[in-house]
Amino acid sequence: MTDQQMENLFYENEFFILRTARIATGRPITKSDDEWSVALSAFWEALKSHNSQKGTLQAYASVVIRHRLIDYARSVRTRERELLAEPAVFGGDMETETVGIQRAVERSLMQEVPDTVLADEIDELAELLKRYNINFFDLPKCCPKARKTRGVCLKASRFVCRIAELLNRLRRTLKLPAAEMETGVPIARKLLEQFRKYIITSVEIEAGDFPGLQGYFMGKGEEA
pLDDT value, residue 70: 85
CA pair distance 48, 152, nearest whole angstrom: 60
Whether the per-residue pLDDT at 104 is higher than 70: the answer is no
| CB neighbours of residue 51 within 10 Å | 8
**Amino acid, res. 68:** R
CA pair distance 16, 19, nearest whole angstrom: 5
Residue 52: burial class (beta carbons within 10 Å; 0-12, 13-18, 19+): exposed
Give the closest residue to 109 by CA, choosing from 129, 124, 89, 128.
89
Whether the per-residue pLDDT at 95 is higher than 60: the answer is no
**Which pLDDT tens digit goes with each residue over 107-143?**
444 444 444 555 667 778 888 999 999 987 777 778 8
Question: How does DSSP classify residue 185?
Answer: S
Tell me the whole-structure pTM to 2 decimals.
Answer: 0.52
Higher-confidence residue of 105 and 91: namely 105
pLDDT value, residue 80: 63
Higher-confidence residue of 89 and 172: namely 172
Rounded to an integer, the average pLDDT of 145-151 is 87
Rounded to an integer, the average pLDDT of 184-189 is 95
Composition of the chain by helix, strand, coil, percent to 5:
75, 0, 25
Higher-confidence residue of 173 and 60: namely 173
pLDDT > 70: what percent of the chain? 73
Residue 118: burial class (beta carbons within 10 Å; 0-12, 13-18, 19+): buried
Q: What single string gives the DSSP state of each residue in 69-83?
A: HHHHHHHHHHHHHHH
Whether the per-residue pLDDT at 213 is higher than 60: the answer is yes
Helices (H) and strands (E) in the chain, counts: 12, 0
**Which pLDDT tens digit goes with each residue over 29-59?**
888 888 999 999 999 888 888 877 767 788 8
- Where helices occur in 132-207 by DSSP H, the ranges are 147-162, 164-173, 178-184, 189-194, 196-207
Q: Categorize the per-residue pLDDT at 83 as very low, low, confident or very high, splitting at 50, 70 and 90.
A: low
Q: Give the chain's mean pLDDT.
A: 77
Rounded to an integer, the average pLDDT of 86-90 is 43
